[in-house]
Amino acid sequence: MLEELLKRKAKVEKEAEKAKEGRNEWNAKASELAAQRDEFNARMKNLVKEAQAFKEVRDEYNQKVSQYKAKRDELNEEAGKIYVKVDRLRKRKSAGGGSLHELRREIDLLEFKQQTEVLSIDKERQLVERISTLQEEFLKKKAQLEQDKELKALLGEAQTLRDKASKYHEKVTKYADLAQEQHDKMIATFNEVDAVRAEADEMHKEFVKAQETADEHHHRFIKLQKEVRDFNKLIAGLKRMSREAKESEERAKAKEKAENIYDRLKKGGKIDTEDLLLLQRSGLL
């Protein structure tokens, strides 16, 4: 019985040690995954800051675009009013040439389309040719009208406003390009943020799995440790019972021997010192 319990205890102790090793191994793996996850989260945090910085610069450039665009449009509107005035005077004076205002507006619309739309090579060529034709017509009509001093003065004033508007338009284009550059960087960085976040989330999932596995091994280790303690109690109890039985047997033998010595003594037999001590220990003397 005792030998069987010792074998079973040794087996459970071996399983407990294996569970302990598994727990420690998975805890180490969980710590490693947590460290990697934290690295990804830190990187993601830095990327978000970087993207926000791109966004702030973009917004500053867009604000400049809005400011310069408003000034450009204001000047173009003033120039347009002068062209309308020129057309009225032209009609009243029966001067030659067509409406400069309409020509200027059409040229502006086509130039805006060329700058903002993605066109095929053929359509781009056709648009450029159309703008060139209209510009030639505009200059020709303008030259005709400038033969009149009053009209020439008004056209000069309109051209001055157009030149100022052109400078603001250059700034609009410049800062719009810069804003787009910052916007593209911001989008690319936020895309990288999404990719890093996905990596961090995956690492966290793996971390949770590793931690759960470590917990399973730990709970098994605790359970097996309890079984080992139970075996120790049983084995200690059996050993105590075996020891008590042996002691009881030895006492019975000693008592029987003492009684034999006592009978021999009563019959007048001789006993030695050892026999005397045995009689004293047994309580017969």
pLDDT along the chain (285 residues), means of 10: 83 93 96 96 96 97 96 94 87 63 83 78 86 86 81 90 94 95 97 96 96 96 93 84 74 69 66 64 58
- One-letter amino acid of 148: D
User: Is 122 part of any domain?
Assistant: yes
User: Is 163 part of any domain?
Assistant: yes
Give me the pLDDT at residue 94, please. 54
User: Is 158 part of any domain?
Assistant: yes
Residue 134: give its domain's CATH number.
1.20.58
User: Is 5 part of any domain?
Assistant: no
Give me the pLDDT at residue 185, please. 97
- One-letter amino acid of 120: S
User: Is 62 part of any domain?
Assistant: yes
Report phi then psi at 165, rounded to 5.
-60, -35
Please count the structural domains in the chain: 1
User: Is 152 part of any domain?
Assistant: yes
User: Is 202 part of any domain?
Assistant: yes
Residue count (the chain): 285
User: Is 204 part of any domain?
Assistant: yes
Q: What is the pTM of this model?
A: 0.63
Residue span of the structural domain in which 124 resides:
31-212
